[in-house]
Copies of this chain bind each other. A is one copy, B any other.
Amino acid sequence: MSDVYILGVDMIKFGRFPEKSVAELGAEAAQMALADAGVSIQDIEGLWCGNLMQASNMVGQQVLQQIGQTGIPVVNCANACATGATAFRDAWLSVKAGIYDLVLAVGVEQMGKGLLGGVGGRKGIPKEGLLGSATMPAVFAEAGMEHARKYGTTFEQFAKVSVKNHHHSTLNPKAMYQIETPLETVMNAEMISYPNTKLMCSVNVDGAAAAVIASEKKAKELGMGRAVRVKASVMTSDPFTERDLVMPDVNTCTRMAAKNAFEMAGVGPEDIDLVELHDCFATAEILHYENLGLCGDGEAGRLIDDGDVALGGKTPVNVSGGLLSKGHPLGATGIANIYEVSTHLRGEADKRQVEGAKLGMTHVIGLGSACAIHILEKV
Contacts and interface: CB of A to CB of B under 8 A. Distances in A.
Interface of A: 1, 21-22, 46, 52-59, 61-62, 64-65, 68-80, 86, 89-90, 93-94, 96-99, 122-126, 129-130, 234-242, 252-253, 256, 366, 368-370
Given A58-B369, A75-B86, A86-B75, A64 B237 contact: yes
A252 B124 CA distance: 36
Contacts of A71: 236-239, 252-253, 256
24 contacts: A1-B97, A53-B56, A55-B56, A56-B122, A57-B125, A58-B79, A58-B366, A58-B368, A59-B124, A61-B237, A61-B368, A65-B130, A69-B237, A70-B239, A71-B237, A71-B256, A72-B237, A73-B236, A74-B79, A75-B79, A76-B79, A90-B90, A90-B93, A97-B97
A71 B258 CA distance: 13
A105 to B, nearest CB: 13
Contacts of A252: 71
Nearest to A21: B126
Contact of A57 (B46, B122, B240): B122
A54 B368 contact: no
A221 to B, nearest CB: 20
Nearest to A86: B75
Given A56-B122, A78-B76, A122-B57, A65 B235 contact: no
Contacts of A68: 241
B93 A369 contact: no
Closest 3 CB pairs of A and B: A71-B239, A73-B235, A55-B55
A75 B80 CA distance: 10
A49 to B, nearest CB: 10
A148 to B, nearest CB: 27
A215 B59 CA distance: 32
A124 B129 CA distance: 29
A81 to B, nearest CB: 11
Contact of A239 (B69, B79, B368): B69
Residue among A61, A72, A73, A86 with most chain B CB within 10 A: A73
Contacts of A58: 78-80, 125, 366, 368-369
